[in-house]
A and B are shown apart, each in its own frame.
With several copies, the nearest count.
Chain A
């Protein structure tokens, strides 16, 4: 991935600070940048949210359609998550189909949502085996300021919680039409994604774009409401020791309640 390359001076300043348990922007090791979550900003979409996390900015939109279920899950609704980094998101971004980074982003966010069982897909069936709801969730990255995984995950979670869609039914002649009523999605968990990176020997959460550019190993963990780990993705061409991983998992777990409250709060303020 093309991206920011820090000069040596700045790199040394950053690593020195972190080795002393500090960060150049004054944050604590576990501290997130300012997080703003604005659900419902795209009224045309069934669900939407815009998330700012420091300089990182991401939108997620949910469109609900209907269609055939996957053959191996005939009695479940379908969740499809895509991501694109808009070319205006940074000087390194380019127009075109999603590259491996955008694909990884979509798939990691997807696993956090899916494995937490956040949405009860068993309830998103119109006619078992024939017609189910399709949830298309699209992530659009507006500004790449570090920690895209968490920002995107929060945006998707908020957009799903914000979703209202038209209830559909199948008529005798086979056509699928709205009943006239609307519904929220059957939300049964609220997963939280926490990303940690190692820089030299220090471990920090929520890396900004500079910290990300010099990280020696990244770990993104999604936690469900009961405190279980429900999805993990290690990133970066580098190795992590077991102790480091366990430390990251612990720091993450401690952070989760705070983030979960912020997401909930944003939704309530809006709802």
Chain B
């Protein structure tokens, strides 16, 4: 097992167990999209564009009662250690689905029957926790697009590393550690909209891990809010 925690209880990058990686978020940088956001979190660099609500072009995906939400999580070929082939991988297809399911509960899709909302997530550079950062950013982009929402969705992974529960796994901690547990949550209602886990946890550890994630999500949510406010004032000022 690789040594990921030093004697002073610090992680490889100097963080404490409950500390997030450095992050920054911006809203509204794409001109042609209805809404957009950019996030950096650790080595992740992720751009999200939202288009819609717009008329559904294909009859296949139309719903008479609400907008259809579509989501594509996509890694650029140069975003990974080894060049990623441009065809969508099974991993990307699954992540696209769980991200869509994590975001939909926050949206009032009933207000836009027969239309479609597209979320395009482009991972420019990937690091551990890219699905969480994608959700956090997509949430900003949806708000930026003016789509009515019950709450923002904030997401982060908790993991187990050398036996310790730690917040916001880096790539190395994800690969060399024991557990990866990404969680997305709407903090107002406390509803968890994404949860996946790889690796072994006891029931007690699992319960603690959720609490750790909640604390991290709270911090991220504050930054999401700030990014939206900043965008708003920029628009008012200009």
Q: Are B105 and A239 closer than 8 Å at their CB atoms?
A: yes
Could you tell me which residues of chain B, from 181 to 202, have a CB within 8 Å of some CB in chain A? 181, 185-186, 189-202
Interface size class of A (residues with CB under 8 A): 35 or more
Residues of B within 8 A of A45 (CB): 78-79, 125
Query: Bound complex: CA of A89 vs CA of B120, how far in Å?
Result: 10
Query: Bound complex: CA of A228 vs CA of B178, how far in Å?
Result: 13
Query: Bound complex: CA of A239 vs CA of B189, how far in Å?
Result: 9
Tell whether B86 is near chain A: CB-to-CB under 8 Å. Answer: yes
Partner-binding segment picked from A30-38, A118-126, A174-182, A230-238 = A230-238
Query: How many B residues, CB 8 Å from partner?
Result: 64
Residues of A within 8 A of B97 (CB): 100-101, 104
Chain A facing B: main interface SS:
mixed
Q: Which residue, A41, A101, A140, A233, has most C-beta atoms of chain B within 10 A? A: A140
Return the chain A residue nearest B31 by Cβ.
Answer: A55
Q: Are A235 and B90 closer than 8 Å at their CB atoms?
A: no
Q: Are A232 and B196 closer than 8 Å at their CB atoms?
A: yes
Query: Bound complex: CA of A227 vs CA of B98, how far in Å?
Result: 26
Could you tell me which residues of chain A, from 41 to 78, have a CB within 8 Å of some CB in chain B? 41-45, 48, 55, 59, 61-63, 65
Residues of A within 8 A of B194 (CB): 234
Tell whether A97 is near chain B: CB-to-CB under 8 Å. Answer: yes
Residues of A within 8 A of B191 (CB): 238-241
Q: Are A229 and B193 closer than 8 Å at their CB atoms?
A: no
Q: Are A63 and B76 closer than 8 Å at their CB atoms?
A: no
Query: Bound complex: CA of A111 vs CA of B196, how far in Å?
Result: 10
Partner-binding segment picked from B4-12, B19-27, B41-49, B128-136 = B41-49
A228-271 contact mask (Cβ, 8 Å, vs B): 1 or 0: 11111111111111100110011001000000000000000000
Return the chain A residue nearest B192 by Cβ.
Answer: A240
Q: Are B190 and A95 closer than 8 Å at their CB atoms?
A: no
Tell whether A224 is near chain B: CB-to-CB under 8 Å. Answer: yes
Q: Are A246 and B77 closer than 8 Å at their CB atoms?
A: no
Residues of A within 8 A of B45 (CB): 41-42
Tell whether A115 is near chain B: CB-to-CB under 8 Å. Answer: yes
Q: Are B200 and A229 closer than 8 Å at their CB atoms?
A: yes
Tell whether B122 is near chain A: CB-to-CB under 8 Å. Answer: yes
Shortest beta-carbon distance, B34 to chain A, in Å?
9
Residues of B within 8 A of A84 (CB): 86
Tell whether A107 is near chain B: CB-to-CB under 8 Å. Answer: yes
Partner-binding segment picked from B203-211, B217-225, B227-235 = B203-211
Residues of A within 8 A of B202 (CB): 227-229
B28-61 contact mask (Cβ, 8 Å, vs A): 1 or 0: 0011110010000001010111010010000000
A140-160 contact mask (Cβ, 8 Å, vs B): 1 or 0: 101111000000000000000
6 more contacts with CB within 8 A, not counting A55-B31, A234-B98, A239-B193, are: A107-B91, A229-B206, A240-B195, A242-B192, A242-B210, A250-B203
Which residues of chain A have a CB within 8 Å of any CB of chain B?
41-45, 48, 55, 59, 61-63, 65, 82, 84, 86-91, 95, 97-98, 100-101, 103-104, 106-107, 111, 115-116, 136, 138, 140, 142-145, 219, 224, 227-242, 245-246, 249-250, 253
